[in-house]
Chains A and B, each alone.
Chain A
Amino acid sequence: MSYLDIPRIHFSGSFCSNPSTQNNNKASFAPGASGVPAWNPMGMHWFYLQDCTVKTAIGPDGNPAPADAVVGGAVDTTNDPGYGRMVDIDPDYQQASQIWGAQFKVSLKGGGGEFKDKLQTATLRDLWLGRAPGGFSQGFSGVYQSAFKEPTFQSVSSSPILTALSKATGIAIKFVVYAYDSTQGTPKFTFGRIVGTIGPFGPADGDETSGMDLGVHFLQARRMEDAGSRAFGKAPFKLNPGKKKVTIDLGNCIPEVSPAGARRNFGTMEAVILLPSAKPEVLGTLDYSQAHYEQTAGIEDIKITDKQVSLLKKNQLGLRVSSPSTSLVMNERPMGLYIDATEIAFRLNSGDSQSVTLVATEFGVATSGRKLDLKLISGTPPSGISFPSSVTAGTGFSITAADPGNPRGAVDGQLYQVGYFSGGPAASFLEGMLIIKVYDPFRPKSLDVPTIMPILAQYAQVYPFMKARMDIGDLTFVKANATAILKSINWDEEDPRYMPVTRDLSSEKKLALRGFLLLLLMMP
């Protein structure tokens, strides 16, 4: 079950993301370096929603539910107990930005009822550079998919949709961020547009990858994409045979004339089944206008016949447009193959192991026994990470970290990129990448000032906003505020109050810091 199932709600509005860019460049990490401030050095790493409302909803019966009490309600981040945090995993990889500790709240129109929960840490996926002209940042678009595992519902009985969602195992959410403004001095600096969908989260149903624990980030759906031009983004979709419908996600795939502006004109857009020896089977037309997009987040249901259900189980889905000429602009791969990882970004300490599963589906059904290859693409020394060279799709495997030997000097550890491949470790068969940050060991003989203070000083240096308010690189300040700093370090990493906000402190450095701060507190 996912956001492509029912019941679900669609929202749109704005978001703010103001990461500090001081830590984007490795030159900023050297002791005493002024670094490279880039476009937002004083950023606070906050992520929050603004003016987001539920635009439309699909009820438990699969029909639009305009009268449901949640339609028109607010979708907020509560910023409680702190703002959600937007951070990159490493200066050497900034395409998997993560949102940590953001609590979301969905309210009934006019208030009086709500559900809320903390978003499971979400990683940016499907970054598309060509949604609108202009490149970074307003032309970019990307997707976050995650879940709420322990939502609390309050007074939602007047909303059949929220009432039904309250009975689900969890709540799935997917949102698209786009038209982000990174130009200092503009009214919308650090703001962008967002559309999203919230639906049920739970075990796969019969036509999906049943029986596998795929976590919150793997989308149990089929995919359409273009042939390699990136002129269109990717479009997941789900065939629901029982309800005789196909649900297509156009949220991150239709190019725009200008950021958040009108869509390119492609005339009539149709979903078609591509048949090996006949004309395409037309399933229906799709409204891809900007106004409609902000109502549905690009999630479109098409009712289909029994015959079409049968055809789509074994054949490719495609998108066909009528302008500027009749052409196929996106389609599923010929065998419906889709390969993805249950998670792509990891932080590991030396000696840690991380379990990962690669999932392969054909026309939405898990393939059994498919061999996938793994190969280290970047990161030295190779001995800093180990993993099998070949794995079976659907079967978990371990990635184990070892001492990388401090290859980057002032920047802790090393960033490894591991490719997974569908047919030998060659560029032609690359299906995706796993991004693993491996920290250097840190086992000092003593917890003295010269050993520990550089850790705090570096953090202050790459996070100028905090340094301007509280200089934790200053020993006098640290002594006076040791209790507060210790409390911040001791928060769970998923908590928005956790320090460092960048989540880039190894467990061994954290342990040493704790010891150092306790020693300070015990000193007369």
Chain B
Amino acid sequence: MPNHITSVIEIREGGILLAASGSHVIRVLGALKETPLLALGGAKEDMVSRVPDSVYEGYYNGSLSGPQQDPAAEPFNPRVASLFITRTGEPLFLQRDPAGEIDSEDSETDDDAS
């Protein structure tokens, strides 16, 4: 089945192109569950990224990459930068998979973007 991963901003403001007929599975990052609005605060020295440096390292050097980066596609899809770090620190990539070739992962993760 065609399956796609998008973000709440992408689907709300731009929508996504469902380039296949039938049912689609669309996972919207940043909108799955109600999440508490978290206050920011405290000392800068206590601020840490949601993921360890090694995750970014992998993204920058290519060892962590998304399932779909197709520069020949018209249009270039996804039309937003594709790496997304969930609130729980999981790196996920937005994707368009009209042929349903990419294995779907468990979508029970709390995917809030905050």
Contacts and interface: CB of A to CB of B under 8 A. Distances in A.
Interface of A: 21, 24-25, 38-39, 91-95, 97, 127, 129-130, 133-137, 140, 182, 225-232, 255, 264, 266, 272, 274-280, 316, 318, 320, 323-331, 333-335, 337, 375, 377-378, 415, 417, 419, 423, 425-430, 433
Interface in B17-76: 29-31, 34-50, 53, 56-57, 59-62, 65-66, 69, 71, 74-76
In the complex, which of the residues A228, A231, A331 has the most CB atoms of chain B within 10 Å of its own CB atom? A228
Contacts of A329: 81
5 contacts: A38-B43, A231-B59, A279-B76, A328-B79, A377-B37
A334 to B, nearest CB: 3
Contacts of A328: 76, 78-82
Contacts of A91: 42-43
Contacts of B49: 129-130, 135, 230
B85 A277 contact: no
Q: Which range contains the number of B residues in contact with the other chain?
A: 35 or more
Contacts of A323: 62
Interface string B99-114: 0000000000000111
B7 A274 contact: no
Contacts of B31: 428
B32 to A, nearest CB: 9
Nearest to B33: A427
A338 to B, nearest CB: 11
A451 to B, nearest CB: 31
Contacts of B76: 272, 274, 279-280, 320, 328
Given A130-B49, A133-B57, A227 B10 contact: yes
B66 to A, nearest CB: 8
A334 B9 contact: yes
A229 B85 contact: yes
A275 B79 CA distance: 9
Contacts of A182: 45
Contact of A326 (B9, B48, B71): B71
B62 A230 contact: no
A227 B114 contact: no
Greatest chain A CB density within 10 A among B9, B30, B46, B113 is at B9
Most chain A CB atoms below 10 A, which of B31, B45, B48, B84: B45
B74 A227 contact: no
Nearest to B73: A279
B41 A417 contact: yes
A226 B39 contact: no
Nearest to B30: A428
Nearest to A335: B13
A417 B35 contact: no
B39 A324 contact: no
A21 B29 CA distance: 38
Contacts of A333: 9, 13-14
A378 B75 contact: no
B82 A227 contact: yes
Contacts of B98: none
A140 B47 CA distance: 10
B81 A264 contact: no
A480 to B, nearest CB: 36
